[in-house]
Structure 1
């Protein structure tokens, strides 16, 4: 057995000690954590040090990886004891990290295929999270029957799968020994999602997982998304289906599908002109989040408003229009840049002076037409799927998409490269599209 597998196995066993919290109470868990922390601090060499040390630990002569891991677990435990984070979510998060990691390390002994490793991690991590939550429910609700566990299963599965996807994504963009950061991030996400109970059952969540995973893998196989981009898309898709519905997901996936394929449009020509996307057009997590972060916040806002968790009791439909406005902006901007960039007559949007292809803020009339068409596609899909949209709403979505696309170009011409990066520009553009869409709908409602 290799050193990484042995180390991961010991870490997994230490993670199992999180069950001491529901079994013996917070003080028992705190005592165990203190013992482990003290041992990690005192052990500076020898076989135990070699067993638990990451390569970077040898430089400082301390088990800093284990120390920070314990501190991350203690932080989550304190949140669980003092705030609304449930003990079940805390235990599930800790087991998710520990057992997902050991499963991945075991899988590495047989394959180095990235997708296979990610799949193994996510499957085992999800199972461990569900197991941890289920055991905690059973321990804390005895001698009650098992019905509460059955009724909580959809939520446990949703939280486990979402946490596993986020963990896999962060482990892909960070380092494997950054698990303390991963643990805290997963715990905080699950804390938020636990307040937004899913509107569909366990079977529906399983179906949502199958749909998003299949489409995510297709995007990776077609080289329109990297591993990180695939994981980000699956996670956002799952959240959208569970918290919004399949209609919301269709709108979002239309952008991913059409936008991803548009990056392949005359790719060789764009590559020769120096304006092609890196990695053969495959979208990474930064690109996906830059274009979809506002949309997913709108989904979360919709779920929170539907559950009456937001102050002021806002109309949930405003979040629907914010969502469609942001997606329309992302679609418009992507199509305008991917299609318009193959034409060699761009002009800077702020001065209309001719510029080189690929210049930030450079636009072509062909790209503008493509962008408007993209906004119309999103508006048309929304009109068909959502009764709240209607004809006026569809027109507002198109207008919001065009405004957002224009904002993107103006920011590109003025701030990109000095103050903002490309993903920051994308984020602000989609935010502007979302705000314009929601404000226009609100204005029409007041005037009407």
Structure 2
């Protein structure tokens, strides 16, 4: 057994102590955490230090990695005992991160393939979180069978988020992973989505299959794949498959458009890096607003927000229409050699931020129309007026993206920031138009 596996095993054991809270109460849990923190502070060298130390711990001969990890668990424990975070979320989060890491390290003994290791982390983390939540609910005298679909949903969502964060952060940043996963699962638990056991299993199968397909086709990196899976799962469970169909239309068509005349884009120097595979930043820049709209829809549907859920549906569609319009206008318009700066209409070099072509503009309008058409076919609330609103939102958002690219990108904003603000503008325009015109009865 290698040192990384032994280290992961110790951390998994430490995470198991979180079960002391539902088993024996918060005081016992606090005493165990205090004992571990004291031991981590006292141990400054020797085999135990070598086993548990992160690379940055050697400079001061202190197990800061372990200390901050335990403190992140203590912070969640305080939320579970002093606030309204469910104890099951606290336990499930710690077991997820600890045993997910152990599963990944065990698989690493056999293969260095990143996608396999990430899969092992998600599988082991999900299983551990399900077990932890189930034990916590049973000790609280909850009917486990009736809440099992939500238990699986929370466990899987947390595992994908944790895997994503671990892919883009350092391994020593696990305290950030613990807190981020715990807060997300707390939010999702409060929304109390109503799903069946087979529904969540089918949703997982669909999103994982499509996510892996995007990775295999090299339209997404591992981080992009994980982001897409998480977004898809949340969209299906908190919205439904109709919302997912709108979302996946962007990922599918937008991803394929990246491959459109890729050699030509490489020759012009405007091709996406990593052979066109989109990472988590690109996916989130284009879909973060849509995710917020889905969460807002679930919250308003549950009575936490006073907004009409249909308003958030149009905000969602407007943001996706913007993302589709912008992606198609960039990926198709970039192969033409005579773009013009949107602010002055002067000719600029291909790839210049804010440069547009008439071919790209037409492609962007067509992309918004595709999203509007899908929404029209799936949602009764989207009539002919709704189609016009979604197309208009996509065009406005695409234009905002070009204007920001010509004025602020590269100085005050990065590409992902521009994408986020553009999709936000598309969502807001869609919502404002819905309130202005008689779409909502």
Classify the TM-score, shorter chain: over 0.9
Q: Deviations over 1:395-444 (max 9, x none)?
A: 10000000000000000000000000000000000000000001101111
Kindly provide the CA deviation profile for residues 37-86 of structure 1, in whole angstroms up to 9, marking residues without a partner as x.
00000000112112211222122201111100110000001111121111
Contact 1:325–1:434 (8 Å) recurs in 2: yes
Pick from 203, 213, 219 the counterpart of residue 224 of structure 1. 219
1:294 counterpart (289, 293, 301): 289
Deviation at 1:351, TM superposition (A): 0.7
Counterpart contact for 1:154–1:198, Cα < 8 Å: no
Q: Name 2:396's counterpart in structure 1.
A: 403
Is 195-204 or 272-281 further displaced after alignment? 195-204
How many angstroms does 1:445 deviate by? 3.2
Partner residue, 2:19: 19
| Structure 1 stretches of 4+ moved >4 Å | none
| 1:373 counterpart residue number | 366
* Match of residue 207 from structure 1: 202
The aligned counterpart of 1:144 is none
Contact 2:386–2:439 (CA under 8 A) maintained in structure 1: no
Structure 2 equivalent of residue 81 of structure 1 = 81
Q: Is the 8 A contact 1:158 1:198 kept in 2?
A: no
CA shift at 1:199, angstroms? 2.5
The match for 1:163 among 149, 158, 166 is 158
Contact 1:52 1:63 in 2 (8 A): yes
Q: Report the Cα offset of residue 294 of structure 1.
A: 0.1
CA distance in structure 2 between the aligned counterparts of 1:250 and 1:154, rounded to whole angstroms: 22
CA distance in 1, matches of 2:418, 2:284: 12
- Match of 1:331, SS state, is helix
Match of 1:430, SS state, is helix
Structure 1 stretches of 5 or more lacking a match? 142-146
Q: Distance in 2 between matches of 1:47 and 1:331?
A: 55
Task: Give, in angstroms, the shift of residue 314 of structure 1.
Answer: 1.2
Cα distance in structure 2, aligned partners of 1:52 and 1:285: 30
Return the offset for 1:447: 10
1:275 match: 270
Give the alignment's TM-score, normalised by structure 2: 0.99
Counterpart of 2:298 in structure 1 is: 303
C-alpha deviations, 1:294-330, integer Å up to 9, x for none? 00000000000000011xx211000000000000000
1:35-184 equivalence runs, <5 A: 35-141=35-141, 148-184=143-179
Superposition RMSD in Å: 1.1
The SS at the match of 1:445 is: coil
Could you tell me how far apart the structure 2 residues matched to 1:334 and 1:317 are?
Answer: 26
Out of 383, 402, 415, the residue aligned to residue 408 of structure 2 is: 415
Separation in structure 1 between the aligned mates of residue 357 and residue 78 of structure 2, nearest angstrom: 55
The TM-score with structure 1 as length reference comes to 0.97
The number of aligned residues is 441
